[in-house]
Structure 1
Amino acid sequence: MCAQLLSHIQLFATLWTVAHQAPLSMEFSKQEYWSGLPFPPPGDLPDPGIELESPAFPALQADSLLLSHLGSPIQPKHIGPDVFSSKNLALQAQKKILSKIASKTVANMLIDDTSSEIFDELYKVTKEHIHNKKEAHKIMKDLIKVAIKIGILYRNNQFSPEEVVIVEKFRKKLNQTAMTIVSFYEVEYTFDRNVLSKLLHECKDLVHELVQRHLTPRTHGRINHVFNHFADVEFLSTLYSLDGDCRPNLKKICEGINKLIDEKVL
């Protein structure tokens, strides 16, 4: 469940990252990956019984993680200011987040190639729609940060049994959303922006419910920032326009989703 969970939330945005490779139990081995991100098993992390809001374990702040022993960040490769790379952005976010955590181990947080390609296309269509490269970059950065934080919560068994039920609801909802995205592309004249927008807002509500007691208002704001953008009906209309500039990007996005489905990671 954990691995499948991350795939979904990353895709939508986060979206399909959270549901990406989720195992069906709360047990994790040292070799398991969470949406392409190798994390230490629960035994290497702080006591999962620690309350996130307690004085000993303060709430997760906007640019820090709640867990220790996650490892030193690896260095992202330098790229030019006009080049967007979701992998590089993830490494930069990792560096910033993990720089506040003391650790002796190394956690290589990498986005898998297929999800990275989907992210890159989402950035391009976002930039095309809002005509603001800086804001498009921020949306994708918020997506990656939220995905990482939720993944850490899950890996450290911070979710209660009731919240694990929400995880499963979210996974199913994101899977439904992903299938709808592909269907609206492959079958002409079936696209309904209101239907897709509603699905994405339902995903957003489930994410808020899942992390309500764990993350700060600032991170909840990031969740809104990501989902509200991708669920915007005008953005969806631009993305699905039959004669618009985003059609090639949508094709690649749907090809990526289909690949994840074929590989049984979505």
Structure 2
Amino acid sequence: MEMAESFKAKDVGLRAQKKILSRMANKTVAKVFIDETTGSLLDNVYRLMKAYTGNKKEAEKIVKNVIKTVIKLGVLYRNGQFSQEELRTAERFKQKFHATAMAIVSFSEVDFSYDRAYLMQALTECCASLRLLVKRHLTDKSLNRIESTFAFFTNPAFLDAVFCHNSEYADILNRIVADMNKALDEGGM
């Protein structure tokens, strides 16, 4: 009988939403949680990763991981699942992510300003904040998705290849930066 008392339909519904939406992490579902600018940004990030790795499947996996995480964050937020402390963590994450995005824009637009150590540290701090925010709500599998995504983007060889002067990825990076500038202007980052 004690088991029945601990059952809460809302909790089951929330778990089902997260699971269903993460399994359906396609463009249709993503549009509910990801605006057009962010969608374009993710498309260009996919192009960059695919060009860098030469591996379509790996690039798709990482972008899907980002989309799944964004969807799950949206579900948790819309259902009021974050505590006040977690909301403060979310705000710190947002501020750090915004500063990191601004640094990426700057590194792209100002020749010889790229600072790998700063960018790696900033992304590592973003990862830690995001993990702290969701650790009570998401499974280890989801937490590992976050880790693997940030691990890809903090890879020194990747960062150097993208941000080096006369990078072969300059065109794609310029499209990413244009999307980031638009997102920053719209308040989405």
User: TM range, normalised to the smaller chain?
Assistant: 0.7 to 0.9
Partner of 2:40: 117
2:189 pairs with 1:237: no
Higher mean alpha-carbon deviation, 190-199 vs 109-118, is at: 109-118
Match of 1:151 among 74, 80, 101: 74
Partner of 2:175: 252
What SS does structure 2 have at the residue aligned with 1:65?
A: helix
In the alignment, is the contact (CA less than 8 A) between 2:100 and 2:122 conserved in 1? yes
Q: Which runs of 5+ in 1 are unaligned?
A: 1-53, 74-87, 96-107
Match of 2:151 among 220, 228, 253: 228
In the alignment, is the contact (CA less than 8 A) between 1:60 and 1:216 conserved in 2? no
Q: How does 1:1-266 map to 2 (within 5 A)?
A: 55-56=7-8, 57=11, 65-66=17-18, 89-91=26-28, 94=29, 109=32, 111-266=34-189
Alignment partners' CA distance in 2, 1:89 and 1:65: 15
- The code of the aligned residue for 2:42 comes to F
CA drift at 1:55: 4.8
Measured against aligned partners, the alpha-carbon deviations of 1:127-147 in whole angstroms (never above 9, x if no partner) come to 122221111100100110011
C-alpha spacing 1:165/1:243, structure 2 compared with 1 (3 Å): same
Tell me the matched-pair count: 180
In the alignment, is the contact (CA less than 8 A) between 2:33 and 2:70 conserved in 1? no
- The code of the aligned residue for 1:90 comes to K
In the alignment, is the contact (CA less than 8 A) between 1:60 and 1:214 conserved in 2? no
CA drift at 1:207: 0.7
CA drift at 1:195: 1.0
Alignment partners' CA distance in 2, 1:255 and 1:66: 31
Alignment partners' CA distance in 2, 1:231 and 1:58: 36
C-alpha spacing 1:66/1:259, structure 2 compared with 1 (3 Å): closer
Structure of higher RCO (CA pairs closer than 8 Å, 6+ residues apart): 2
What SS does structure 2 have at the residue aligned with 1:109?
A: helix
Alignment partners' CA distance in 2, 1:265 and 1:143: 15
Instruction: Calculate the TM-score normalised by the size of structure 2.
Output: 0.85
Instruction: Calculate the TM-score normalised by the size of structure 1.
Output: 0.62
For the aligned residue pairs, the C-alpha RMSD in angstroms reads: 2.5
CA drift at 1:114: 1.6
C-alpha spacing 1:167/1:222, structure 2 compared with 1 (3 Å): same
Alignment partners' CA distance in 1, 2:126 and 2:85: 17
Q: Which structure: greater helix fraction? A: 2
C-alpha spacing 1:263/1:66, structure 2 compared with 1 (3 Å): closer
Q: Which runs of 5+ in 2 are unaligned?
A: 1-5
CA drift at 1:122: 0.6
Measured against aligned partners, the alpha-carbon deviations of 1:75-97 in whole angstroms (never above 9, x if no partner) come to xxxxxxxxxxxxx9332xx39xx
- The code of the aligned residue for 2:166 comes to D
